[in-house]
Amino acid sequence: MKLAVLGAGAWGTALAIHWSQSHAVTLWGRNPQSVAAMRALRENRAYLPGFALPAALELSASLAAAKDADLVVLAVPTAGLRQTLEQLAASVQTVPPLIWVCKGFEPGSRKLPHEVLGEVLPGQRRAGVLSGPSFAQEVANGLPTALTLASGETAFAHDMAQALVGPRLRIYVSNDVVGVEVGGATKNVMAIAAGICDGLGLGHNARAALITRGLAEMTRLGVALGGRAETFMGLSGLGDLILTATGDLSRNRRVGLGLARNEPLAALLGNLGHVAEGVSTTRELMALAAALGVELPITAGVGQILFHGMPAEHAIDLLLNREIKREFAWPGEAHPTNPGR
C-alpha cells in the first residue's frame, strides 16, 4: 500500500519509520529546509533524534506526494489540521482515504478533528481516527503498541486496521469516532494535572486518585458530546491516560512538573521544542464545560494554574475540599444528584 504521512513531527516520523517496513511511505513536511536536512542526514534531528530514516522512506515538501497514495495519514497538530486539509484538497484532484492521528480540539472553534474534516471535505466518508497509548520513540524503536482505529465506515476501519498492523503494532476497531477523539484530547489535560501532582510530591495515592477521577471527568464530557462510556475504558481512554499521566516521555506531564516548580508557562513550552496539546485543550475544555453544563473540576484547576496564575498548591487544596459527592449513581435512581462530579 502507498502511504502519505503528512506531518514530520515526532509522531508522524515514528509512524513513517514503522510503516516503511511493509509499505511504500512518503513523509511530508511543510518546511522545505527541514525536509532537505532530513534527506541529507537520514534523521529527523529536530523532532525524533537518534532514529535513522529507512532508505525506502521518501521525503517530500510537496503535497503532490499524496496524489497517488492509497491512504493519507494526517499527523499535523490539531491547530494546523484545517489548513493542511485545505492545501491537500487544492493539491490533488481526488483526495485519498484519510486517517488522522492528531489529538485535541481546534483552537477557537472547539471542534473535534472529524468536524473539521466534515467542513473542509464534506463528502469524505472513508476516513477515521487512529489513537491510543503511544510514545513516538517507542513506536520508532519497534516496541509493542496497541491502538484504536475508529470510523463511521466500519468496513473501512477493518480494512485499514488489517493493512496497518504489524508484528509489534496491534490495532483494534471502533465506530465511536467522538469517544476516541475526546479520550485522546482530554487525557493531555489530565497528564498536566498528574505532572503537577507528582511535582508537588503528593505521592502515589494522590496520583491514583487523580487518574481515576480524571477518567470519570473525561467520560462525563465524552458522553455529553455524543461518545460512548465504554470507549473511555479502552485504549484511547484509560490506556492513553495511564501512559500520558505516568510516562516520563509525556510532554504534557513535563509541563505539569514544571508548573509545580513555578516555572513560567512560556519558558516551559519554549524548552519543550514540541507541541503540548494539553495547554490549548484546557482552554477549549473550560469553554465546552460552561456551554454544556458539565462539571470538569480537574480541568478547571489546571486552567486556573495555566491561565490565571493560581499557585498549584492552592488548586490542589480546592479540589480536595470540594463538597462530598457520590462516586456513582445508586441503582434504580432515575435522576441522581451530581454523582461522581
Active-site residue list? 187
Helix or strand (DSSP H, E) at 16: helix 10-19
The H-assigned helical ranges of 273-324 are 277-292, 297-308, 312-320
Q: Which cell goes with 225?
A: 458530546
* Closest CA relative to residue 284, chosen from 103, 127, 99, 133: 103
DSSP string computed for 33-59: HHHHHHHHHTEETTTEEEEEPPTT-EE
Say if residues 9 and 275 touch (Cβ distance below 8 Å): yes
User: What span, in angstroms and rounded, lies between the C-alpha atoms of 114 and 144?
Assistant: 27
User: What span, in angstroms and rounded, lies between the C-alpha atoms of 270 and 332?
Assistant: 51
Neighbour-count burial of 251, counting CB atoms closer than 10 A to its CB (0-12 exposed, 13-18 middle, 19+ buried) = buried
Q: How many C-beta neighbours within 10 Å does residue 321 have?
A: 7
The DSSP code for 166 is B
User: Cell 478533528 maps to which residue?
Assistant: 113
